[in-house]
Structure 1
């Protein structure tokens, strides 16, 4: 029997009347209080949790053998290495989460239950970028509460989508609203939409489902949203078994594919992933992948292309830029076709680029140097700056990795020249402090 103080209890407030979330030995548990006795009996007799899992609405949830003083039952939910907060979801994933919440409540209603909560923090992203509701402690009988959770859902999930549907210019505001930071009255004024509901919970949920399905989103065409066509992306999958195809006619992809097999990382972060060709390649090699792409349109296109594929691969898509490496890090970081854009477009110096890329990995990095800068067959700009060269970049990378290797290979004609850089055996933060105190640990 564990003492209540043996677990960590995240959060500063507990809204759920019958359950608490605790962490023990890096695993998360749902701990039910004695007042939840009847609810737990329903879970068991009606197989509610099994049904929700089968319908892809909650993560795999099983009763745990551990006992905690003051609680009558403990459940453990399966977790994965990466999760993505709602602020960084592709827009279309936010819509999918809205529909998932409605479907969750429609299924619960069949058993006389509903969610007391309606905010995005109770969603985790698992499997193939699937939003799953993790807070099973928020399920309560709806007998005396026909509208439970709906006000919060409309404020924190539906109104942000309505706002985004009115134009891409509202994207930053939508992302703040998904965290519940904008009052509902303000959202009504900004969107010009006043959502009111009455009647049975079943009819309200159906109305919300129909309304959510009508929401559409537009994006301006950008270099990145059109960088790959749908046909390019589909080539990354063998539709039947989701294994990487043979890249013998694509030397760059062939080399990267072989490196992935040699390194065999369990976790990969793909920086500037765009359509996710290399994310898919890493995932089909067995890694769990966090695919980071700053362009929402490109991220949504990638999401659409992977969601109906093999459920056995694990790719999470995050709309964000390079940086904050402590929050998004893998055993391997991929930073392909990226350094020249960081240098010329965002005006990062190569030492800063090396530091930022290194911050995203605990062990290895595969990156590229474009000797023509932004050009294809001729340098752009011409001449290239003296502080943009391969030697400077590799020298900077040696400050963070014990091994830095240049991999040159023949490129097809009329293709921009690329030089692969493989960095392995990252120097630990503590070693960096001792050996090179002028370098900020990553």
Structure 2
């Protein structure tokens, strides 16, 4: 290995000092920061928030200090349908309700994976992966489908937000502390040769503690509730004695099995037009398998456009922090010119970013519009879940080139797929490692 010599560092320092341009840049960046110094106004000029296809939506929601974007995005797609069908205004479904059941199910999923790997050493990569983050707020589309199908949904009035759902850091800290402690218990039972029945009895006791912890922290999920509202015409509506399942069936009525996850991962290990799943990725034991069809980006965008043109918004996952402005809500490759600022080439291909850990899906939002020029997409309207104080009243604009580089997943109806694409999706999937970037949780 070659060390850095004092003489080499002195040469670098001298070269920097003699460069007037770099000294001028230093003054600006030290005072204002990297992004503020590199921001391009042209990105706003080129991404005006006007779209030829624009799905009607209500106000944006706010996930606050939590990682529930994937839930908010899914519930927002339902909310869009309800707003139009029932003439609702400023209506939301309960994110706290789905949050409770997701945490509860993730605890059991963790326990089962700990038991499945109990004969492996603590230093094995799979065990270390499980213990690094026993559970977290994030998730995938198929995971929220599992929650909807098992537990239904409720309006926000039936289970409002709580302090710990709006700011989940403390809840996650103590729940993960408990789950790691419980992992020592379960692994010890396996090492002692306890029977599966004996182990499941202890696991049930641990799950009771999880339920108690969640109920104390988030509130108790309702088994029945009344749905009361006034529509935009001020007509009064009341329905009593609904369950989460009957509410879903009557007011949402979406057959979730009609939807598929489409990804764009242009890496050598994931050929296009094949299906994939990820080992140890999920939340509900016995629930819906996480599964994707990998396609080229032009196909990916055509599928999203087809659904938008039919008036239906699109759940999607991306790397939101890349080349995006939070205040103005612009996601564009020219949002910042950091290459010119530092005279360093930071560019990588999409495949390289995935392979080398520079990018993965970090956030889920909803595509609610697209601007088409001669049939080609130029920019996309994005409903975020960070409240109305960012972007254009909470809505963002993504340039088409940004979509190409930093969007990884969409969810669309099966009807938009060709027969060949549907067959590829339904084929036995290739199983990816738990730490594959396509296993990232939004």
TM range (shorter): under 0.3
What TM-score comes out, normalization by structure 2 length?
A: 0.23
Between Structure 1 and Structure 2, the one with more helix by share is 2
What TM-score comes out, normalization by structure 1 length?
A: 0.23
More contact order relative to length (CA 8 Å, sep ≥ 6) = 2
